[in-house]
Amino acid sequence: MSNRNTGLAVEADGLVRSFGSTRALDGLDLQVPAGTVYGLLGPNGAGKTTAVRVLATLLRPDGGQARVFGHDVVAEADAVRARVSLTGQYASLDEDLTGAENLVLLGRLLGLGRPAARQRADQLLAAFGLTEAAGRQVKKYSGGMRRRIDIAASILNTPDLLFLDEPTTGLDPRSRNQVWEIIRAVVAHGTTVLLTTQYLDEADQLAGRIAVVDHGRVIAEGTPGELKSSVGSGTVHVRLRDAGERTRAEQVLRTALGVPVQLEADPVALTARVGEDGTDLEAGEQAARALGELARAGIVVDDFSLGQPSLDEVFLALTDHPAVGADERDDELEAAR
Amino acid sequence: MSDTATTTGRPPSVYVPSAEALATVLAPGERPPRPGALSASLTFGWRALLKIKHVPEQLFDVTAFPIIMVLMFTYLFGGALADSPRDYLQFFLPGIMVTSVVMITMYTGVGLNNDIEKGVFDRIRTLPVWRPAALVGMIFGDVLRYVLAAVVILGVGLALGFRPAGGPVGVLAGIGLLVIFSFAFSWVWTFFGLVLRSEKSVMGVSMMVLFPLTFLSNVFVDPATMPGWLQAFVKANPITHLVAAVRAAMAGSADATNTMWLLLWSAGFVVVFGTLTMYRYNRR
């Protein structure tokens, strides 16, 4: 495998795909370096799922082209399929079958003999903590277990590129951490991971580079650090005891931070972006100064936090519109028929 | 190591991903050669068998439904159309067997539609296997259901007094022709399963096609008393050819003309709807 760890795992140029009147992909460009975790970040309906489905050979693009490890996703779909796996947003295993049966079935389809497929299934079930649930139907699995068996199925043939479409959406925090650990292990063993997510912190935790997708196009690309500093490395959230103090608090914060302060819909809440042009350290210093100034002015603060910019804030900053959208796959099911 | 609350009596242990355990499954091994077309299709057929094992209720359609059909029509029409239900059965049994089995071919489309809706097909379509294997395997599984339905109907028929002159060989030949046709006809439903929006619409369209096709034929009565325009339809109907051929086989005489027609129809269904199905399958 010459380019398993080097070069580009994915190269997409101007991908276009419409469903009826919806343009799910509108000239999407992407370069994913091999051997890394790459995050596609965006709201529902941004085109992330459609992009993944085109790259995984499930959908043909209407325009543009894409190569996976140098193979065209349309003309050389079989060569691409031999090297990729997809864990979709929706259950992609047969729910009527048991976990073990699903894995043996896939092993057989990937060319393993019956004993080898069984052995591989047992190995995977053990590694993913599912040995006890091996004989249970997948529809009886919990959300976290289902994700794990899905990912186990996807690495059955140790793919060179693994697509994970919103792997943690709807999971509780513990299951989410488990999935993160698994993703880290997968990439450490040389598999490239292309991950879609709606959560900036997830992309930040896992991805070496991130592309922010909106309306079927990449609107920003870079390392998590680069993206965050383009938006400001943090946001200060303040909640006051007394709504009557908000005007005064706004003045204090504006003077202390030297940035515009937003008044939230909640009458006691204010937010301000900090660390506009700099480091996390600077954001921390600014936040500390803001808290100090509020105390000195005698304003009672109930809640004060410095957080990363949320996806909403990144979006607002990059697009001047909030992150909203429709569910793509529903659009697709509606329109593709 | 379950993390659900379904286990009782002891606290559920929490799964902690272990680097060593993951390392053993992630070590890139030799990639086996891709399976052949037949092997992949049979593996998908095995999936269909597993589904029957886990959801045995689905066999209701291929057992209870045919039994009801045989009993109902034998006693409903038997006295009126022949001297007795038993006499009618000699004519009617091959026809109702065809009707019941052809009716259950539509579940192929329903099952496929369900797979698409649930996302299973996404994974299957990203596998580097012979493209039609998933569908062929699915139909292999269904063929087993067709055989089962045919055998159930034969059993009921024999119990009610059906005595095929062709003996076991004739009956086997008849069932064989029926299964060949049903396999071919299933491709119509794989196409509709891919094209239509929901399980319900697949059922709706199937019923609209299957009812006229099975009733406007020689299944229930001799077409000689029908008006001319209807006779024309009945004569062209592939089900008529199938029933005539199966009837002849079970009666111990071969009907070469109708057998040829039914084989031509079968080939036509596979070529036309098999191609359309694969086109849609690859294009989605």
pLDDT at A321: 61
Residues 6+ apart with CB under 8 A from B225: none
Q: With CB atoms and an 8 Å threshold, state whether A81 touches B33.
A: no
Q: With CB atoms and an 8 Å threshold, state whether B21 touches A157.
A: no
Average of per-residue pLDDT across B272-282: 91
**Would strands A8-19 and A22-33 be described as parallel, antiparallel, or unpaired?**
antiparallel
Q: With CB atoms and an 8 Å threshold, state whether B40 touches A109.
A: yes
> Which B residues 172-201 touch A at CB under 8 Å?
195-197
CA separation for the pair A106, B128 (Å, rounded): 11
Residue A280 reports pLDDT greater than 90:
no
Tokens read off for A336: 């593709």
What is the pTM for the complete model shown?
0.81
- In chain B, how many domains are there? 1
Q: Give the chain A residue whose CA is nearest to the CA of B15.
A: A129
Tokens read off for A230: 């383009």
pLDDT at B248: 93
Q: With CB atoms and an 8 Å threshold, state whether B15 touches A129.
A: yes
- A239 neighbors A286 (Cβ within 8 angstroms): no
pLDDT band for position A12 (cuts 50, 70, 90)? very high
Average of per-residue pLDDT across B138-154: 91
Instruction: Establish if B164 belongs to a structural domain.
Output: yes
Average of per-residue pLDDT across B15-33: 79
Tokens read off for B21: 């355990």
Mutate which of B31, B121, B123, B284 to test chain A, going by most A C-beta atoms within 10 A? Answer: B123
> Which A residues 155-174 touch B at CB under 8 Å?
155, 157-158, 174
Q: Which residue has the tokens 């998590």?
A: A224
Q: In A294-325, which positions are buried (b, 16+ CB within 10 angstroms) versus exposed (e)?
A: beeeebebeeeebebbebebbbbebeeeebeb
Instruction: Establish if B5 belongs to a structural domain.
Output: no
pLDDT digits (tens, 9 = 90+) for A136-176: 999 999 988 999 999 999 999 889 999 999 998 888 888 89
Residue A333 reports pLDDT greater than 90:
no
Distance of CA A10 to the CA centre of its chain: 17
Q: Domain residues of chain A, as ranges?
A: 8-228, 233-308
Supply the DSSP string of B15-71, one letter for each residue: P---HHHHHHHHS--PPPPPPPHHHHHHHHHHHHHHHHHH-GGGGHHHHHHHHHHHH
pLDDT digits (tens, 9 = 90+) for B67-117: 998 898 888 888 888 888 888 888 889 999 999 999 999 888 888 888 888
Average of per-residue pLDDT across A231-252: 86
Per DSSP, B227 falls in state -
- A332 neighbors A50 (Cβ within 8 angstroms): yes
Share of chain A above pLDDT 90, in %: 52
CA distances from B79 to B31, B76, B85, B159 (A): 66, 7, 5, 18
Mutate which of A52, A86, A103, A109 to test chain B, going by most B C-beta atoms within 10 A? Answer: A109
Q: How far is the alpha carbon of B188 from chain A, nearest alpha carbon, in Å?
A: 16
Share of chain B above pLDDT 90, in %: 43
- B262 neighbors B238 (Cβ within 8 angstroms): yes
Q: Give the chain A residue whose CA is nearest to the CA of B5.
A: A142
Tokens read off for B116: 């698409």
Residues 6+ apart with CB under 8 A from A12: A28, A29, A30, A31, A51, A54, A55, A64, A65, A66, A67
CA separation for the pair A324, A214 (Å, rounded): 10
Instruction: Establish if B8 belongs to a structural domain.
Output: no
CA separation for the pair B266, B247 (Å, rounded): 18
Instruction: Establish if B263 belongs to a structural domain.
Output: yes
SS3 A269: strand
pLDDT digits (tens, 9 = 90+) for A216-229: 999 999 888 788 77
Average of per-residue pLDDT across B17-38: 81
pLDDT band for position B8 (cuts 50, 70, 90)? very low
pLDDT at A323: 57
Tokens read off for B235: 């004569």
CA distances from A76 to A66, B7, B100, B125 (A): 11, 47, 43, 14
Instruction: Establish if B13 belongs to a structural domain.
Output: no
CA separation for the pair A294, A220 (Å, rounded): 35
Instruction: Establish if B70 belongs to a structural domain.
Output: yes
Interface residue B53 vs chain A (CB under 8 A): no
CATH code for the part of the protein at A233-308: 3.30.70.100
Q: Return the bridge partners of A66, or none.
A: A12
Are the folds of A8-228 and A233-308 the same? Answer: no
Second CATH level (architecture) for the domain A8-228: 3-Layer(aba) Sandwich (3.40)
CA separation for the pair B51, B65 (Å, rounded): 20
Instruction: Establish if B126 belongs to a structural domain.
Output: yes
Residue B243 reports pLDDT greater than 60:
yes
Average of per-residue pLDDT across A250-276: 84
Chain A residues within 8 A of B129 when measuring between CB atoms: 109
Quote the domain boundaries for residue B259: 37-283
Residue A279 reports pLDDT greater than 70:
no
Q: With CB atoms and an 8 Å threshold, state whether B55 touches A96.
A: yes
SS3 A57: coil
Shortest CB distance from B119 goes to which of A90, A106, A133?
Answer: A90
Tokens read off for A333: 């099911």
pLDDT band for position A70 (cuts 50, 70, 90)? very high
pLDDT at B57: 86
- B217 neighbors B230 (Cβ within 8 angstroms): no
Element (H, E) at A9: strand A8-19
pLDDT at A97: 94
pLDDT at A143: 87
- A238 neighbors A303 (Cβ within 8 angstroms): yes
Residue type, A46: A
**Would strands A161-165 and A84-87 be described as parallel, antiparallel, or unpaired?**
parallel
Residue A336 reports pLDDT greater than 50:
no
Query: Hey, how many other C-beta atoms are within 10 angstroms of the C-beta on A12?
Result: 24
Instruction: State the greatest distance between any 2 C-alpha atoms of chain B, in Å, as a whole number.
Output: 79
What count of CB pairs under 8 Å joins A to B? Answer: 158
Interface residue A130 vs chain B (CB under 8 A): yes
Residue B170 reports pLDDT greater than 80:
yes
Question: In whole numbers, what is the pLDDT of chain B averaged over residues?
Answer: 87
Residue B3 reports pLDDT greater than 70:
no
pLDDT digits (tens, 9 = 90+) for A99-148: 999 999 999 999 999 999 999 999 999 999 999 999 999 999 998 899 99
Q: With CB atoms and an 8 Å threshold, state whether B19 touches A185.
A: yes
Instruction: Establish if B151 belongs to a structural domain.
Output: yes
Tokens read off for A168: 């943690």
Supply the DSSP string of B79-97, one letter for each residue: HHHSSSHHHHHHHHHHHHH
Question: In whole numbers, what is the pLDDT of chain A averaged over residues?
Answer: 86
Residue A182 reports pLDDT greater than 70:
yes
Q: How far is the alpha carbon of B38 from chain A, nearest alpha carbon, in Å?
A: 11
CA distances from B61 to A269, A287, A306 (A): 62, 68, 62
Residues 6+ apart with CB under 8 A from A251: none
Interface residue B283 vs chain A (CB under 8 A): yes
Residues 6+ apart with CB under 8 A from B159: none
Chain B residues within 8 A of A166 when measuring between CB atoms: none
CA separation for the pair B85, B101 (Å, rounded): 22
Chain B residues within 8 A of A129 when measuring between CB atoms: 1, 3, 15-17
Q: With CB atoms and an 8 Å threshold, state whether B17 touches A181.
A: yes
* Maximum mean pLDDT: which of A92-96, A231-235, A286-290, B172-176: B172-176
